[in-house]
């Protein structure tokens, strides 16, 4: 051991060398998503998340502050795919319902993304703090941006009704797994759901 | 104290006189719904439910058997309003989307019904046992009956897509309370959502 290495160890930071690495941040976020998924927001702890990530709890606080902020970061990451919705709308009104339904389902069909989305949904439905954060995110990041691009009366309400249909489909298909929806071919669902989304987003 | 009363008390059944009364069953069901709502399926206990109902835990077992069966009974009661759906369909295809949307929203607008429905939703999204029971109920009691009355291709899938839209609307409006949906006038929502339901249930 070189003399330079000793002080850090003595300060009790076995993972100190990883403190500034981007992979530390990623490892903490991954552990957070997995802990929130398994235990829900209230029961997940910074200590447990640190243990799963293999880092000191102090590092979690250093990178993310409070549990609430850590949940927020996990949430933003989880919903990153939703941020492509304004892009989808930029493609013009024709076929927008179909593009949206297809993108939504293809996102949910990826197992690790699905696991994260279900975790957020579970936390939001059972914990007020998580519900407040999801509400804030959906209103501020999603509905505002989408509504700005819609040429319909009450664009926020229309955007939310379209979202509500997709959320409900995800609940029955991926969470409750009620048949025949759970096993239906995604492209068949795109064809069935697209007209409803199209109407909300474009019909004046 | 008359001599006849003594034996029952000695058997440690202070509520013994209520054992056979229908109101005992009702009190247990009400306590069960409230406990499942507050604590979720896994954490709710027969003991806690008995305490809330003011009866002996043995009485809960006597009336409902296991916790699983008690949850099932609370569920059937909660979803009783959904059993009117086949009736709504009997009114014929014209305006069925509108009648369905109106009945769904007016059911959710009643605070104590809403509380029960949210409790079931929470349990089903967080506990596999509750999810299995809800899935079974929805498939067997609801979708089968509805599909039998639809004159469309793949009636089960259509019925479920209509249901998914309503479930998603309830999640965003009543559980997450995302605006502007949360404060929208129910009749305005009926007008917006009805065409989507109508298409699923009647368009060939």
Asked if the structure places residue A143 within a domain, the reply is: yes
Asked if pLDDT for residue B5 goes beyond 50, the answer is no
A191 pLDDT tier (thresholds 50, 70, 90): very high
Closest among A34, A63, A33, A59 to A47, alpha carbons compared: A59
In this predicted structure, what is the pLDDT of residue A63?
Answer: 92
B138 interaction partners in chain A (CB closer than 8 Å): 176, 178
Asked if pLDDT for residue B41 goes beyond 90, the answer is no
Which range, of A75-89, A147-161, B149-163, averages the lowest pLDDT? Answer: A75-89
Closest among B125, B75, B129 to A131, alpha carbons compared: B125
Which pLDDT tens digit goes with each residue over A157-173? 999 999 999 999 999 99
Q: Please, what is the Cα angle at A138 between A47 and A37, to 5 degrees? A: 30
Residue carrying structure tokens 């809960």: B60
Same structural domain, B62 and B148: no
Asked if pLDDT for residue B2 goes beyond 90, the answer is no
In this predicted structure, what is the pLDDT of residue A14?
Answer: 45
Same structural domain, A182 and A142: yes
Pick from A75-79, A172-176, A182-186, B24-28 the range whose average pLDDT is largest: A182-186
Rounded CA-CA distance A175/A147 in Å is 28
Residue of A nearest to B160 (CA): A181
Rounded CA-CA distance A106/A104 in Å is 6
Same structural domain, A39 and A108: no
pLDDT mean over B175-196: 95
The verdict on A44 touching B (C-beta cutoff 8 Å) is no
pLDDT mean over A182-187: 96
Q: Which of B38, B121, B160 to mutate to test the interface with A (most CBs of A within 10 A)?
A: B160
In this predicted structure, what is the pLDDT of residue B16?
Answer: 46
Q: Where among A10, A33, A68 does a domain terminate?
A: A68
pLDDT mean over B167-190: 94
Alpha-carbon distance B196 to nearest alpha carbon in chain A (angstroms): 5
Asked if the structure places residue B16 within a domain, the reply is: yes
Same structural domain, A64 and A86: no
Which range, of A70-84, B6-20, B86-100, B164-178, averages the lowest pLDDT? Answer: B6-20
Q: Which of A39, A42, A196, A201 to mutate to test the interface with B (most CBs of B within 10 A)?
A: A196
The verdict on A193 touching B (C-beta cutoff 8 Å) is yes
Q: Where among A68, A103, A128 does a domain terminate?
A: A68
Across the interface, of B164, B193, B200, the residue whose CB is closest to A161 is B193
Asked if the structure places residue B74 within a domain, the reply is: no
Q: Please, what is the Cα angle at A74 between A68 and A75, to 5 degrees? A: 85
Across the interface, of A40, A164, A168, the residue whose CB is closest to B181 is A164
Instruction: Count CB atoms within 10 A of the CB of residue B203.
Output: 11
pLDDT over 70 percentage in chain A: 87
Asked if the structure places residue A4 within a domain, the reply is: no
The CATH number of residue B34's host domain is 1.10.10.60
Q: In chain A, how many domains are there?
A: 2
- CB neighbour list of residue A11: distance below 8 Å, 6 or more residues apart: none
Across the interface, of B122, B138, B154, the residue whose CB is closest to A125 is B122
Q: Which of A128, A153, A168 to mutate to test the interface with B (most CBs of B within 10 A)?
A: A168
Asked if the structure places residue A25 within a domain, the reply is: yes
Which pLDDT tens digit goes with each residue over A115-143? 878 888 888 887 777 787 778 777 777 77
Q: Please, what is the Cα angle at B105 between A192 and B75, to 5 degrees? A: 90
Asked if pLDDT for residue B95 goes beyond 80, the answer is yes
Same structural domain, B43 and B96: no
In this predicted structure, what is the pLDDT of residue B133?
Answer: 75
The verdict on A51 touching B (C-beta cutoff 8 Å) is no
Same structural domain, B96 and B60: no
Which pLDDT tens digit goes with each residue over B114-123? 887 888 888 8
Supply the Cα-derived Rg of chain A in whole angstroms.
21
Same structural domain, A98 and A198: yes
Asked if the structure places residue A87 within a domain, the reply is: yes
What does residue B178 show for φ and ψ, rounded to 5 degrees? Answer: -85, 130
Q: Where among B22, B41, B66 does a domain terminate?
A: B66
Asked if the structure places residue B73 within a domain, the reply is: no
Same structural domain, B47 and B88: no
Domain that holds residue B49: 5-66
Same structural domain, B142 and B185: yes
CB contact under 8 A, B195 and A200: no
ipTM score: 0.74
pLDDT mean over B130-152: 80
Asked if the structure places residue A7 within a domain, the reply is: no
Closest among A43, A35, A32 to A127, alpha carbons compared: A43
In the 8-state DSSP scheme, what is residue B183? G
B81 pLDDT tier (thresholds 50, 70, 90): low
Rounded CA-CA distance B78/B115 in Å is 10
Residue carrying structure tokens 């306590």: B31
Rounded CA-CA distance A75/A80 in Å is 8
Same structural domain, A52 and A122: no
The CATH number of residue A186's host domain is 1.10.357.10
Across the interface, of A157, A165, A177, the residue whose CB is closest to B164 is A165
Same structural domain, A143 and A183: yes
Same structural domain, A148 and A107: yes
pLDDT mean over B76-105: 82
In this predicted structure, what is the pLDDT of residue A36?
Answer: 78
CA distances to B6, B7, B12, B16 from B3, rounded to whole Å, are: 6, 8, 16, 16
């Amino acid at each position: 051991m070189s003399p330079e290495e000793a002080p850090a160890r003595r300060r009790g930071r076995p993972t100190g060398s990883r403190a500034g690495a981007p992979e530390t941040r990623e490892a903490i976020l991954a552990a957070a998503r997995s802990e929130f998924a398994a235990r829900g927001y209230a029961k997940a702890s910074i200590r447990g998340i640190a243990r799963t990530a293999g880092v000191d709890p102090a590092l979690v606080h250093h990178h993310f502050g409070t549990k609430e902020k850590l949940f927020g970061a996990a949430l933003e990451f989880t919903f990153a795919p939703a941020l492509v919705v304004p892009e989808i709308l930029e493609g013009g009104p024709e076929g927008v319902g179909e593009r949206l339904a297809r993108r939504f389902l293809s996102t949910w069909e990826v197992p690790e993304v699905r696991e994260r989305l279900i975790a957020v949904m579970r936390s939001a439905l059972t914990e007020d703090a998580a519900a407040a954060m999801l509400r804030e995110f959906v209103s501020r990041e999603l509905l505002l941006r989408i509504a700005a691009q819609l040429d319909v009366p009450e664009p926020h309400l229309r955007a939310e009704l379209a979202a509500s249909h997709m959320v409900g489909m995800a609940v029955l298909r991926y969470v409750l797994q009620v048949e025949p929806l759970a096993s239906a071919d995604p492209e068949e669902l795109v064809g069935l759901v697209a007209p409803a989304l199209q109407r909300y987003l474009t019909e004046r």
